[in-house]
Structures are given as C-alpha cells and as structure tokens.
C-alpha cells in the first residue's frame, strides 16, 4: 500500500470518528460511522490473504447491519418526536433498538461472533485499531444517549458479555482471539458502568484502551501471535517479557495494578445501587478472565519452550528497537491506583 493511499485511509478513519464524536444530529453521527467503517475495510484486507478477505467481509456485513439498525432507530424516534437530535431519544422501541445496535457494533454478546474471527484474520496492528480506536465512535453515542437507554437491557448485555468473554477465552491459544474475548468482557463491564455512572465509564474505557494498546504494541515488537511464541519471547527481550507480565496482570484486574481500579469502582457503584447479586456475578466472571491472563503470564515468564542453547544469547547479539510509547505508557499501567484519590 502506497504512503499516499495509506495516509488517505487513516485520515478517513480519524475523520469518521471525529464527525461522530462532534455531531448532535443522528444523520451526521450515522455518516461518521459509515466513513469509519469504509475506511477500515482496506486496512483489514491489505495483506491479500483469503483469511483477511473473509475478516473484511464479516466486518462489513455486521457493521452495515448495526448502522442500519441505528438509522432505523433514529428515523423511528424522529417520526415520533419530530427532531433528529441525539440527546432527544424518547421512544422506547428506538432506545431498545439502539442499545442492541451499539452492542453489535462494539462486539458485545450475544452479537459478538464476528469479533474473534475478524481479529484473527487481521494483522496485529489492525487488530489493535479494531479493539481501541474503532470503539470510540459507538461509545460516544452510547455515552450521549445513556440516560434514555433501558437500564435492564444494559445490565443484561453487560453481564452476558462479561461471563461469555471470560468463559470463551479459556480454551484459546491464539493471542488475537484471546484479546478479542478480553475485549468482549471489558466492554461488558463498560455497558454495566454506563447505566450508573458516566465518569466511571469514561475512566474504564480509557484504561482499557491504554492496556490493550500496550499489549498489542508489545506483541508487534516481539512478533508473538500464539502462546507458543510467548514462551520464546524472553530470547528477544527479557525486559519486554517482564513488562508484558505486568501488563497482562493489570488487564486481568489484579490489585494493586491499574486494571483493578475500574473494576473496583464499578463493583462499589453496583453495591451502592443495591445490585449486589450482579456485583457478585461480575466479580466471579473476572476469575474466568484472570485465569487465561495468568496462563499467558505463566507461559511468558516461567515456562520455557524447548530451544537450542544458542537462542539464549539472541537478546545480547541482536538489537531491538523498542517502542518509546511502551516505555512512556508502561508506568501508567502499574501506578495509577496510588493516584486514584487525585482523579476521583
């Protein structure tokens, strides 16, 4: 892909998200979502592999269906209320349809089946874009309309996503599929948080994007795609291997790392709203996710795949250009909990 075409596509990707985030009208928000979808399609299929073409087709069909549902919900709301403002979502069928459409766009259960396949057919950096930047536009619409969305459906979708994301990730060995189910589980937590507290939702989303981006950047640096690759990661960089351990544990929500902060705040908010059974199920579902994060951590740092003796010196002989972004953002993934009284 030539630099001019790549710059144009990335500009379209950014423009679509910004249009959706800045719009107050349903039509403009829908246009931004469509630009965003069309811009990511060439990025997914750029390596001309049948798996990539399949991933692009699945992504296009699901995103088009979700965008159609959003447009239909906004048209139905405009038919009843007489206005196209995003903030004036007053019709109950339209709000229910919008909740399900956003769940499909974000990849939440039970409309999540496209996400693992699309991520597995994409490159590591494309998968990072799918799980981070592509979540911003739908999340903006969710945050702007959350006061008019049905709380019961939000809680139910969030609970199912959290459970299924942890359960389905247990038997995976491909890192991109594991992170896809991790995305489903984390967005389930966000769906539950949005029904109670907007500030906690934004904090959870930012921490999720930060941790996921760092893990994908580390995978790209070490060229790791499977758990077997993780077991030889130490031969490339012992330092990056140690940092990967902390990032995985933080993403799993293990205290005292940063990933524990949003889960703690959401459970506290659920308890304050007298939703203790949901808080209990959520806490138990975290154990499922934490299991495969611990398995990845164990594989990365403790288990050694059979290698020739000469490989143990690879990290001494070959220089690797580590991303400065990883070095800069790494302290945030481990030290944000002591800063939480300042933020809250």
- pLDDT tens for the chain, residues 1 to 344: 788 888 888 899 999 999 999 988 999 999 999 999 999 999 998 888 889 999 999 999 999 999 999 999 999 999 988 888 888 888 889 999 999 999 999 999 888 899 999 999 999 999 999 999 999 999 999 999 988 899 999 999 999 999 999 999 888 889 999 999 999 999 999 999 998 889 999 999 999 999 999 999 988 888 888 888 887 777 777 788 888 888 888 888 888 888 898 999 999 999 999 999 999 999 999 998 889 888 888 887 776 655 555 555 555 545 555 567 777 777 777 776 666 655 55
Rounded CA-CA distance 200/206 in Å is: 10
The total number of structural domains in the chain stands at 1
Specify burial of residue 145 (Cβ count, 10 A radius: 0-12, 13-18, 19+): buried
pLDDT value of residue 61: 94
Q: Which of 161, 140, 141, 11 is nearest to 71 (CA)?
A: 141
Rounded CA-CA distance 204/170 in Å is: 23
The residue segments making up the domain with residue 324 are: 3-343
pLDDT value of residue 258: 87
DSSP string covering 207-270, please? HHHHHHHHHHHHHHHHT--BHHHHHTGGGT-HHHHHHHHHHHHHHTT-TTSTTHHHHHHHHHHH
316-339 burial: b if 16+ Cβ within 10 Å, else e: eeeeeebeeebeebbebbbebbee
pLDDT value of residue 253: 86
Under DSSP, is residue 121 helix (H, G, I), strand (E, B) or coil? coil
pLDDT value of residue 318: 54
């Amino acid at each position: 892909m030539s630099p001019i075409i790549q710059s144009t596509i990335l500009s379209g990707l950014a423009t679509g998200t910004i249009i959706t985030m800045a719009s107050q009208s349903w039509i403009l928000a829908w246009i931004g979502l469509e630009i965003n979808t069309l811009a990511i399609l060439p990025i997914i299929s750029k390596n001309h592999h049948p798996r990539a073409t399949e991933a692009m087709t699945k992504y296009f069909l699901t995103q088009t269906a979700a965008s159609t549902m959003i447009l239909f919900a906004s048209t139905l709301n405009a038919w009843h209320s007489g206005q196209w403002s995003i903030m004036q979502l007053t019709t109950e069928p339209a709000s229910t349809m919008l909740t399900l459409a956003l769940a499909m766009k974000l990849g939440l259960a039970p409309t999540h089946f496209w996400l693992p396949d699309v991520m597995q057919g994409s490159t590591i950096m494309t998968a990072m874009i799918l799980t981070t930047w592509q979540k911003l536009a739908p999340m903006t619409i969710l945050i702007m309309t959350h006061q008019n969305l049905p709380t019961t459906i939000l809680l139910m979708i969030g609970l199912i996503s959290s459970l299924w994301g942890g359960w389905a990730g247990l038997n995976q060995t491909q890192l991109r599929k594991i992170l896809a189910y991790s995305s489903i589980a984390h967005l389930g937590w966000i769906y539950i948080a949005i029904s109670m507290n907007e500030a906690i939702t934004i904090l959870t989303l930012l921490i999720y994007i930060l941790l996921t981006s760092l893990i994908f950047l580390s995978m790209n640096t070490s060229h790791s795609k499977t758990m077997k690759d993780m077991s030889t990661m130490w031969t490339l960089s012992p330092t990056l291997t140690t940092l990967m351990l902390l990032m995985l544990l933080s993403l799993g929500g293990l205290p005292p790392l940063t990933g524990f902060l949003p889960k703690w705040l959401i459970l506290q908010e659920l308890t304050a709203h007298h939703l203790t059974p949901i808080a209990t199920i959520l806490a138990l579902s975290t154990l499922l996710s934490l299991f495969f994060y611990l398995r990845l951590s164990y594989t990365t740092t403790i288990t050694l795949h059979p290698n020739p003796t000469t490989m143990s010196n690879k990290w001494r002989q070959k220089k690797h250009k580590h991303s400065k972004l990883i070095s800069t953002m790494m302290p945030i993934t481990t030290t944000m909990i002591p800063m939480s009284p300042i933020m809250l």
